[in-house]
Amino acid sequence: MSVTQSRSPHPGSSTPFVKVTLQSLQEKKRNRAPISAITAYDYATARLVDEASVDLVLVGDSLAMVMLGYESTLPVTMDEMVMLTRAVRRGVRRALLAADMPYASYHVEESEGVRNALRFMKEAGAEAIKVEGGRNRVSLVQRLTDAEIPVIGHLGLTPQSLHRMGGYRVQGKTVVAAEAMLDDAVALEAAGAALLVLEGIPREVAARITDALPIPTIGIGAGPDCDGQILVLHDAINLTFAPPAKFVRRYGDAAAIIRDAVEQYRKDVESGSFPSDAESYHLPAEVREHFQQSAARTRRKA
Ligand code: KIV
């Protein structure tokens, strides 16, 4: 069996697949075949997105907001990220699995950043990690790459820079800012980054960076000219309780499905129609007879 096919299919499925690797993603770029990526944060959604054959699953630190209810990505901790990445690992067989380094896990000491990235690889089974930032991350990216940790860079609207940016604003809108972002992208690739996420930037800038780099770019709010696209799953299926950003396309309404299902369940419980006899377990016939006789004896004695 080749290394690329070494993971068995999901339990209950016999559908064979070829494992996605960084190399197969790079080949997709060379062949101009679009790369599909999405976030997942637990076993169930991880398994569903993997069964839908996306190329890359990211345990994004966006989980701070959409799963844990924080107001930004800043508070989420390494322990929280590692725990949820482990759950996602159990659901992902085919896609490449990447995890986001949370805020403050690589901002103080580079060695601490490497140690934290190693936790994702060793404890959670991640195959790549993502860090936000440009030239200020070059030396960290080199050290991670030296430690055999594949790195995904992240440029543009980087949510961990929320307060420096003064809000979630499209980045790279001037010639100077766009050229600086291109320089950052080139520097990250030279340092060893294997992929690059481009978030919230004009499509023209994303197209130029994509054209300039040998590694794949994955866009989110960066237009159609990137080598691939990523969406936050909860944005795509309406589980965010907020109006979608301009770049989000809604592919389903999970909020409506859950609300309707739970409301119907509550009504069925309240009306007594759930559970029905068919939804109940029964004693075997011979036991039932003895049980009824013993109930009758108990009643006679009383
Ligand atoms: O945290 C996240 O979900 C991300 C994606 C938006 C790329 O970083």
- pLDDT given at position 17: 84
Domains of the chain in start order, with CATH, are 5-256 (3.20.20.60)
The helix/strand count (H/E) of the chain reads as 12, 8
Instruction: With cut-offs at 50, 70 and 90, classify the pLDDT of residue 7.
Output: low
- pLDDT given at position 15: 75
Q: What is the CA radius of gyration of the chain?
A: 25
For residue 61, the CA-to-ligand 1 centroid distance in Å is 6
Q: What residue owns the CA closest to ligand 1's atom 5? A: 60
- pLDDT given at position 4: 46
Task: Tell which atom from ligand 1 comes closest to the C-alpha of 130.
Answer: 8
Instruction: With cut-offs at 50, 70 and 90, classify the pLDDT of residue 11.
Output: confident
Q: Which two tokens stand for residue 161?
A: 């820079």
Asked if residues 197 and 110 have their Cβ atoms less than 8 Å apart, the reply is: no
What is the arithmetic mean of pLDDT over 167-186?
98
Ligand 1 contacts (CB < 6 A) are: 39, 58, 60-62, 100, 197, 199, 220, 230, 232
Q: Which two tokens stand for residue 50?
A: 């993997």
Q: Please state the length of the chain.
A: 302
For residue 139, the CA-to-ligand 1 centroid distance in Å is 22
Task: Tell which atom from ligand 1 comes closest to the C-alpha of 218.
Answer: 7
Q: What residue owns the CA closest to ligand 1's atom 2? A: 60
- Among residues 37, 2, 32, 29, the alpha carbon closest in space to that of 16 is found at 2
Q: What is the pLDDT of residues 185-230, one digit of tens each?
A: 999 999 999 999 999 999 999 999 999 999 999 999 999 999 999 9
pLDDT at 60 over 80: yes
Cα separation, 252 vs 230, in Å, equals 16
What is the arithmetic mean of pLDDT over 221-250?
97
- pLDDT given at position 5: 47
Task: Tell which atom from ligand 1 comes closest to the C-alpha of 39.
Answer: 3
Q: Which of 122-126, 255-259, 290-294 has the lowest mean pLDDT?
A: 290-294
Cα separation, 66 vs 217, in Å, equals 24
Tokens 């237009």, located at residue: 223
What is the arithmetic mean of pLDDT over 106-112?
97
Task: Tell which atom from ligand 1 comes closest to the C-alpha of 73.
Answer: 1
For residue 281, the CA-to-ligand 1 centroid distance in Å is 46
Cα separation, 283 vs 80, in Å, equals 45
- pLDDT given at position 3: 43
pLDDT at 101 over 80: yes
Tokens 């054209």, located at residue: 211
pLDDT at 254 over 70: yes
**What does the DSSP 8-state code read for residue 103?**
T
Q: What is the pLDDT of residues 114-168, one digit of tens each?
A: 999 999 999 999 999 999 999 999 999 999 999 999 999 999 999 999 999 999 9
Instruction: With cut-offs at 50, 70 and 90, classify the pLDDT of residue 302.
Output: confident
Percentage of the chain lying above the pLDDT 90 cut? 93
What is the arithmetic mean of pLDDT over 60-68?
98
- pLDDT given at position 148: 98
| 45, 49, 58, 66, best to mutate for ligand 1 pocket (most atoms within 8 Å of CB) | 58
If DSSP codes are grouped into helix, strand and coil, which group holds residue 131?
strand
Q: What residue owns the CA closest to ligand 1's atom 8? A: 60
Reported in sequence order, the residue ranges of 221-295 that DSSP labels E, i.e. its strands, are 228-231
Largest CA distance in the chain: 94
For residue 280, the CA-to-ligand 1 centroid distance in Å is 44
Q: Which of 51, 127, 189, 199 is catalytic?
A: 199
- pLDDT given at position 33: 98
Say whether 199 is catalytic: yes
Cα 215 to Cα 49, 129, 148, 284, 289: the distances in Å are: 24, 15, 17, 64, 73
For residue 60, the CA-to-ligand 1 centroid distance in Å is 5
Asked if residues 189 and 233 have their Cβ atoms less than 8 Å apart, the reply is: no
